[in-house]
């Protein structure tokens, strides 16, 4: 029986987590990440990387909830709480080196912040930095983590200020939140066969896969996001743009009635998802990547994106709650 980091971290995280978060989500993520890896990764490293990815996904989940789950934010002190959580991602390189000092400025949220920080710092300083290619790709890795933070900050400000953005802008800004680029660069850190001259092409592909995962999450979690009043959900943002609903409706209309008003939109999101997958395929035809099987990378994310809806429903039946999928 393999001992995993993520299982240890989940034990701590569940004491502060949103009630919508269940250990079954992270177990499913771990099993998914066993298959979601670059072909240049050695088979002997697959389970180790899946473990590290699940741990990063747990941190991502904790920060994401601190930015878009209204009840959790209010319970933990509001805006200062959200920005303390974001600060960890913006300063991930300092967290890894031990130069970052959490503020713990509000005793109301200190347990949530401290729990997340302890997990994140242990993960980076005692595990990620020891990957053989860490120094080769550290700058791109931390840039990708900062992009995740920026995506979450965008969602936080959209929700806080109730800003109506065009759907295309929401998709562009929300993409990095699923961490596909971050987790794929982790694969590069463990690979001996990747040609670093192909890094730019690879990262563009990773970012497209981020959008695929994010749109898939939107299709599978929009009902939960109605309850959480997460207006940054692409389904909800599209409904707002088309005047199907107003911000005020989320205060006075039942979730069931809102679901009915938005019921036609997930199919439109699936159309955007299909277009993004097509763009990925066209990209790898034009910009050949030799260091790993780019077509297999795309097929993996397409398969698990569509499989996640079925699994999401199974988790819901088990736990009585909606959960997120490939992240975000």
Q: What is the pLDDT, as a whole number, of residue 236?
A: 94
φ/ψ (deg, to 5) at 38: -75, 150
Mean pLDDT, rounded, for 82-107: 92
First to last CA, the chain: 29
93 pLDDT higher than 60: yes
Mean pLDDT, rounded, for 60-89: 91
Mean pLDDT, rounded, for 138-144: 98
φ/ψ (deg, to 5) at 69: -105, 100
Mean pLDDT, rounded, for 20-49: 93
Mean pLDDT, rounded, for 204-220: 92
Q: Cβ contacts of residue 108 below 8 Å, gap of 6+? A: 75, 76, 77, 81
Q: Cα 124 vs. chain centroid, distance in angstroms?
A: 17
φ/ψ (deg, to 5) at 180: -60, -45
Mean pLDDT, rounded, for 134-148: 97
- Do 49 and 191 touch, CB atoms closer than 8 A? no
The two structure tokens encoding residue 308: 């996640």
Q: What is the pLDDT, as a whole number, of residue 2?
A: 63
Q: What is the pLDDT, as a whole number, of residue 311?
A: 52
Share of the chain above pLDDT 70, in %: 92
Q: Give me the domains of the chain, ranges plus CATH numbers.
A: 24-319 (1.10.600.10)
3-class DSSP string for the chain: CCCCHHHHHHHHHCCCCCCCCCHHHHHHHHHHHCCCCCCCCCHHHHHHHHHHHHHHHHHHHHHHHHHHCHHHHHHCCCHHHHHHHHHHHHCHHHHHHCCCCCCCCCCCCHHHHHHHHHHHHHHHHHCHHHCCCHHHHHHHHHHHHHHHHHHHHHHHHHHHHCCCCCHHHHHHHHHHHHCHHHHHHHHHHHCCCCCHHHHHHHHHHHHHHHHHHHHHHHHHHHHHHHHHCCCCCHHHHHHHHCCCCCCCHHHHCCHHHHHHHHCCHHHHHHHHHHHHHHHHHHHHHHCCCCCCCHHHHHHHHHHHHHHHHHHHHHHHHHHCCCCCCCCC
Share of the chain above pLDDT 90, in %: 74
Mean pLDDT, rounded, for 99-114: 85
Q: What is the rounded CA–CA span in Å between residue 324 and residue 284?
A: 28
- Do 220 and 135 touch, CB atoms closer than 8 A? no
Mean pLDDT, rounded, for 77-90: 94
Mean pLDDT, rounded, for 214-236: 89
Integer-rounded Cα radius of gyration of the chain: 19
251 pLDDT higher than 70: yes
Q: Which residue has the higher pLDDT, 4 or 193?
A: 4
Q: What is the pLDDT of residues 176-195, one digit of tens each?
A: 999 999 999 999 999 988 99
């Amino acid at each position: 029986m393999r001992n995993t980091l993520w299982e240890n971290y989940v034990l701590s995280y569940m004491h502060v987590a949103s009630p919508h978060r269940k250990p079954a989500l992270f177990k499913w993520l771990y099993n998914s990440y066993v298959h979601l890896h670059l072909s240049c990764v050695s088979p002997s490293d697959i389970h180790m990387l899946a473990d590290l990815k699940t741990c990063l996904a747990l941190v991502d989940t904790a920060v994401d909830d601190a930015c878009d789950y209204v009840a959790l934010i209010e319970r933990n002190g509001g805006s200062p709480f959200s920005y303390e959580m974001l600060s960890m991602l913006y300063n991930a390189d300092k967290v890894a080196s031990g130069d970052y000092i959490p503020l713990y400025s509000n005793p109301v949220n200190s347990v949530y912040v401290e729990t997340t920080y302890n997990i994140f710092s242990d993960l980076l300083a005692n595990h990620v930095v020891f990957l053989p290619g860490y120094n080769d790709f550290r700058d791109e890795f931390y840039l990708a983590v900062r992009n995740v933070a920026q995506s979450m900050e965008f969602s936080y400000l959209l929700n806080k200020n109730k800003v109506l953005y065009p759907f295309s802008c929401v998709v562009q800004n929300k993409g990095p939140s699923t961490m596909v680029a971050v987790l794929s660069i982790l694969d590069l850190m463990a690979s001996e066969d990747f040609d670093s001259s192909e890094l730019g092409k690879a990262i563009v592909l990773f970012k497209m896969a981020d959008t695929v995962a994010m749109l898939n999450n939107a299709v599978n979690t929009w009902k939960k996001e109605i309850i959480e009043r997460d207006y940054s959900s692409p389904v909800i943002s599209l409904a707002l743009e088309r005047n199907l609903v107003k911000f005020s409706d989320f205060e006075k209309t039942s979730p069931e009635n809102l679901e009915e008003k938005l019921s036609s939109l997930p199919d439109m999101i699936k159309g955007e998802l299909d277009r993004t997958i097509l763009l990925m395929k066209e990209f790898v035809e034009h910009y050949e990547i030799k260091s790993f099987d780019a077509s297999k990378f795309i097929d993996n994310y397409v398969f698990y994106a569509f499989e996640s809806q079925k699994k999401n429903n199974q988790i819901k039946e088990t736990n009585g709650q909606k959960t997120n999928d490939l992240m975000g």
